[in-house]
Amino acid sequence: MNITELSWEIFSQSINDYHKTDNVDTLVINPYPKSDTFKHLLYQKNWIDTVQWHFEDIIRDININPSEALVLKRRIDASNQERTDMVEYIDSWFLDKYKNVTLAENAKINTESPAWAIDRFSILALKVYHMNEEVNRPDASEEHRAKCNEKLQILLEQKKDLSTAIEELLEDISTGKKYMKVYKQMKMYNDEELNPILRKNK
């Protein structure tokens, strides 16, 4: 099983596990021990994405209480930070995996790291899951289900294309044709020294 097949399998497992309760306050129970680093990270990453997907649904309720919306916005901010942290952990795993690769003389850098590509793959798994729900929604019209099925087919095509691109990138890294260069977080709005509002309120 290659990286993208494994990733999709674990993402699907995480999404299905979440929907057993379909509650953003459900505590994650990662079935993969930390010693099984890559699988543990993949599951944790997608769980964060899945919870945030539902945060984003909830906050768009036009009848939401403003004070509840503010609390939820803070939770979304924290979730975004966790998501970025997980991407960096996954990239660290890849950096370690390929640390002994000898680079070709003309090796090139990619526009994004493997983990950020896998981040998009995780979100795509969520899109496929929820679009498939719409295709099979019993209270929806035939027209709605048909339109959603058209979108689902496009998402499945995107899954195939993104899988291919990720596997080709990893192959190029493993053979020294491309190299990884990871830039650690440069987010400014969470930093008390860089965000002028937080700095003022210290």
Q: How many CB atoms lie within 10 A of CB 4?
A: 20
Question: What pLDDT, in 10s, does the model give residues 25-57?
Answer: 999 999 999 999 999 999 999 999 999 999 999
CA distances from 27 to 15, 30, 44 (A): 13, 9, 11
**pTM metric for this prediction:** 0.90
HSE toward the beta carbon, residue 48, CA cutoff 13 A: 20
Distance CA 125, CA 127 (A): 5
Q: What is the pLDDT of residue 68?
A: 94
The DSSP letter of residue 65 is: -
CB 50 within 8 A of CB 20: no
pLDDT tens-digit map of 109-130: 998 999 999 999 999 999 999 9
Query: What pLDDT is stored for residue 131 in this prediction?
Result: 98
Identify whether the C-beta of residue 109 lies closer than 8 Å to the C-beta of residue 33: no
Can you tell me the distance from the alpha carbon of 142 to that of 140, in angstroms, rounded to the nearest whole number? 7
Q: What percent of the chain has pLDDT over 70?
A: 91
pLDDT in tens, 131-151: 999 999 999 999 999 999 999
Please provide residue 22's backbone torsions phi and psi, each rounded to the nearest 5 degrees. Answer: 50, 50
pLDDT average, residue stretch 71-96? 94
pLDDT of residue 182: 81
Question: Does the pLDDT at position 200 exceed 70?
Answer: no
Supply the pLDDT for residue 19.
97
| pLDDT exceeds 90 at position 195 | no
pLDDT confidence of residue 191: 60
Q: How far apart are CA 170 and CA 180, in angstroms?
A: 10
